[in-house]
Structure 1
């Protein structure tokens, strides 16, 4: 149960990071062709960082789950 809650939290964080990256353009407070506003730069850095860290954590979790499955399969053969 704890693992499912952790994975769900990481997925939500990943999606929130993606939204922060896309928000200045989707909402429209960053005009086309204009120099990036400070808020846009902040959204890009913070959102990109959150998305990258949560994606890395999801990859580590998936690798650990695969390693555990392989370990269980190896012991089932003997």
Structure 2
């Protein structure tokens, strides 16, 4: 149960980070063809860090889960 909550939180943080990166262009507060505004730069840095950090967390969880599954399989082969 705790793992599902953690993965869900990481997935939501990842999606929120992606939204922060895309929002200035989707919503339209970054005019086309002009230099990036301070708000856009802020969204890009914060959103990129949030999406990147949560993606690394999800990858780490997946790697740990894969390691646990292979360890269990090895124990089952030895005893069975």
- Structure 1 gaps, min length 5: none
Runs of at least 4 residues off by over 3 Å: none
- Structure 2 gaps, min length 5: none
TM-score by structure 1 length? 0.99
TM-score by structure 2 length? 0.97
Q: Distance in 2 between matches of 1:66 and 1:37?
A: 43
Report how far residue 59 of structure 1 moved. 0.3
Deviations 1:4-43 (A, max 9, x none): 0000000000000000000000000001001100000000
**How many residues are matched?**
78
